[in-house]
Amino acid sequence: MMKVETLVIHAGSHVDESTSAVVAPIVLSTTFERDHDGNYSKGYSYSRAGNPNRQALETVLARLEGGVQAAAFASGNAAGMTVFQSLKPGTHIIAPDDMYHGLRNQLKTLFAGILEFDFIDLNNDELLLATIKPNTGLIWIETPSNPLLKLTDIAKVAALARKHDIKVVCDNTFASPLGQQPLSLGADVVMHSTTKYLGGHSDLTGGALITAQDDEWWKKILNIQQMGGAIPAPTDCYWLARSIKTLPYRMRGHVHNAQLLAEYLEQHTQVEQVLYPGLASHPQHELAKQQMLSFGGMLSFMVAGGKDAAERVINKLQLFARATSLGGVESLIERRAAIEGPDTKTPQNLLRVSVGLEHIDDLIADMQNALNKA
Ligand SMILES: *Cc1c(COP(=O)(O)O)cnc(C)c1O
């Protein structure tokens, strides 16, 4: 089988037939001409239904996750919403109690009265089993979770779900396809916010779903993509496919830097705790080694001295931008409780870091300076 570095460069790419351009052009046309017999032999008719740049992107995304097909969306939230819209009204969803807040809010506001849902700790086997109802149709997994970097055992949950004829979707945004392959562990569909590592440069918004099987459920998802029209523009598809060509090398850098920064922070007296799956101190480090191919570029840490000390650290840092989001080349830091609102369970002194691709010596020096002055 082709190695991933090769795959991301060649899957979905081909020399353009009309110009011999090695890099395929961006096709902006919203409409495509019929053949004389009325058919669309090239496969495209109207850009909401399909576009060559989207096709190229979906091809590489499917290959990256080991799936059979992918569907690209205008955002991660649009991808998640498509899954919820694809379920029969009255379906019960089991989702993690620390689910990405944007999708959790979607369920609680837009789908209230349409779908049923329970937010639970998926690591609690007994609770999970007790929460399954006759109308449970979906278990949503997000691992590692945000911002506590809690893991869920994908293979275990997927095996239980299969026994009860329940579908499993895994939000793989934090790990990236290089960090974890949920379909190979038994998930039915993988979801990504491609705004994050896949885009990788903090300059585009996108989402994706990748399926293990081209079944009836997937056909419905494709229908929602094409009829609903929450699709990415050809230019966004182009930039995203371009970024994916360097994903394996970028992930290597993110993972390398995150591991070293986590180890540095762990020994600092101003730091109460570091949450990173690659640390031996992570409560689920064994599971991380078992199910992850690499531990990702996201970490969280708690600053000694509470909320104010955490704010001081953020304000002293010079290389870490005080911003939400993740997965870009530049390092970002945020006090997560501030964005999650008043009912958050996230510790007030928790800082979440998206470790970028700057040199690790510079990142550590900046962190050392900020912690020592905080
Ligand atoms: C960002 C994010 C999303 C939502 O994606 P958008 O592209 O912002 O709509 C979903 N899940 C996780 C884990 C995320 O980090």
pLDDT band, residue 339 (cuts 50/70/90)? confident
Dist. CA 16–CA 158, nearest whole Å: 41
From 150, 196, 250, 336, the catalytic residue:
196
What number is the average pLDDT over the span 162-169? 98
**Residues 118-156: tens digit of each pLDDT:** 999 999 999 999 999 999 999 999 999 999 999 999 999
Structure tokens at 167: 């579908």
Residue 343 has pLDDT above 90, yes or no: no
Q: Is 327 in the pocket of ligand 1 (CB under 6 A)?
A: no
Dist. CA 185–CA 180, nearest whole Å: 9
Res 252: pLDDT = 98
Structure tokens at 173: 């945004």
**Residues 272-288: tens digit of each pLDDT:** 999 999 999 999 999 99
CA of 238 to the centre of ligand 1 (A): 20
**Which residue's CA lies nearest to atom 11 of ligand 1?**
100
From 63, 150, 167, 171, the catalytic residue:
171
Residue 340 has pLDDT above 90, yes or no: no
Res 373: pLDDT = 87
Q: Is 193 in the pocket of ligand 1 (CB under 6 A)?
A: yes
What number is the average pLDDT over the span 227-246? 98
From 44, 100, 197, 238, the catalytic residue:
100
Residues in Cβ contact with 170 at an 8 Å cutoff, skipping those fewer than 6 apart: 140, 141, 142, 143, 154, 182, 187, 189, 190, 191
Residues in Cβ contact with 154 at an 8 Å cutoff, skipping those fewer than 6 apart: 141, 143, 168, 170, 180, 182, 185, 186, 187, 291
**Residues 320-336: tens digit of each pLDDT:** 999 999 999 999 999 99
CA of 27 to the centre of ligand 1 (A): 27
**Residues 180-198: tens digit of each pLDDT:** 999 999 999 999 999 999 9
48 assigned to active site: yes
- The third-level CATH classification (topology) of the domain covering 249-373 is Aspartate Aminotransferase, domain 1 (3.90.1150)
pLDDT band, residue 89 (cuts 50/70/90)? very high
Res 233: pLDDT = 98
118 assigned to active site: no
For helices 360-373 and 247-266, what crossing angle results, to 10°? 30
User: What mean pLDDT value characterizes the chain?
Assistant: 97
Of residues 357, 59, 37, 316, the one with CA closest to residue 201: 357
**Which residue's CA lies nearest to atom 2 of ligand 1?**
193
CATH 3.40.640.10 for domain 4-244, yes or no, is yes
DSSP state of 215: -
Residue 236 has pLDDT above 90, yes or no: yes
**Ligand 1 probe mutation, 141, 172, 193, 352, most atoms within 8 A of CB:** 193
Of residues 104, 69, 274, the one with CA closest to residue 188: 69
Q: Is 25 in the pocket of ligand 1 (CB under 6 A)?
A: no
Residues in Cβ contact with 155 at an 8 Å cutoff, skipping those fewer than 6 apart: 185, 186, 291
**Ligand 1 probe mutation, 149, 152, 192, 195, most atoms within 8 A of CB:** 195
Q: Is 146 in the pocket of ligand 1 (CB under 6 A)?
A: yes
Structure tokens at 23: 């890099």
**Which residue's CA lies nearest to atom 15 of ligand 1?**
173
Res 345: pLDDT = 83
Res 67: pLDDT = 98
What number is the average pLDDT over the span 51-65? 98
Q: Could you state, in order of their start, the residue ranges of all structural domains in the chain?
A: 4-244, 249-373
Percent of the chain with pLDDT over 90: 95
For residue 207, which atom of ligand 1 is closest to its CA? 7
108 assigned to active site: no
Res 46: pLDDT = 97
pTM, full prediction: 0.97
For helices 76-85 and 101-109, what crossing angle results, to 10°? 40
Residue 341 has pLDDT above 90, yes or no: no
